[in-house]
Amino acid sequence: MIPHEIAAQVKPAERQINWQKTEFYGFINIGLPTVVNSEWTDGTISPANFVPDEFDAEEWVSFFKSAGFKGMVLNVKHHDGFCLWYSDYTKYSVEKSINWETENRDMVAMLSEECKKQGLKFGIAISPLDRNASCFGKGEEYNEYFKNLLREVLTKYGDIFYVRFDGANELSKNDEVQEYDWEGYYQVVRECQPGA
């Protein structure tokens, strides 16, 4: 137990104060489940199904700004494992969305750039649960894979003001329990985005 004299001296870090000053921000949850009209998917839906033809980053960010939001948080990877950015670590990403009629299919890039242009903060949500990755349930092998994804998304898109982890978990396809390396994940965030 911490003595009350010490507890009274605990002060928030500058990054925590900055987060409080953001006050009002919105969350976007889009991915393969969105386009196949399902709450969650099992990690087997083809990335070719992800064809958000009417997506317009400028429109989305303008809407957030007009609503008074100071930031946008994008769910960049949900439980199915589908990544909304070009990833060197998985083929289960927007890169394989061959039918989308735009040269740039990297939604993370488009939204982070537009947020910067319009003066909004940009953050991410990312789920460690992964129904697509064959190493899910393999302990440290999966944790390293997830840290690579995390490091990748935290270093490609400029300042990230907020990182949200979803704590969902389930048995792997082989009935294995995946123990998440939360401290390792936090360390990657501190290393790549110390102000988040």
pLDDT in tens, 80-132: 999 999 899 999 998 755 666 666 778 999 999 999 999 999 999 999 999 99
Look up the pTM and report it. Answer: 0.90
Instruction: Compute the distance between CA of residue 71 and CA of residue 7 in angstroms, rounded to an integer.
Output: 31
Please give the angle made by the CA atoms of 50, 160 and 122, to the nearest 5 degrees: 60
Instruction: Compute the distance between CA of residue 190 and CA of residue 152 in angstroms, rounded to an integer.
Output: 14
Q: What are the backbone dihedrals phi and psi of residue 143, each rounded to the nearest 5 degrees, phi first? A: -60, -40
Residue with more model confidence, 35 or 194: 194
Nearest to 142 by CA among 154, 127, 156: 127
Instruction: Decide: 50 and 93 in contact? Cβ < 8 Å.
Output: no
- Alpha helices, DSSP H only, in 45-158? 57-66, 107-118, 140-155
What is the pLDDT averaged over residues 137-147? 98
Residue 19 predicted with pLDDT over 90 = no
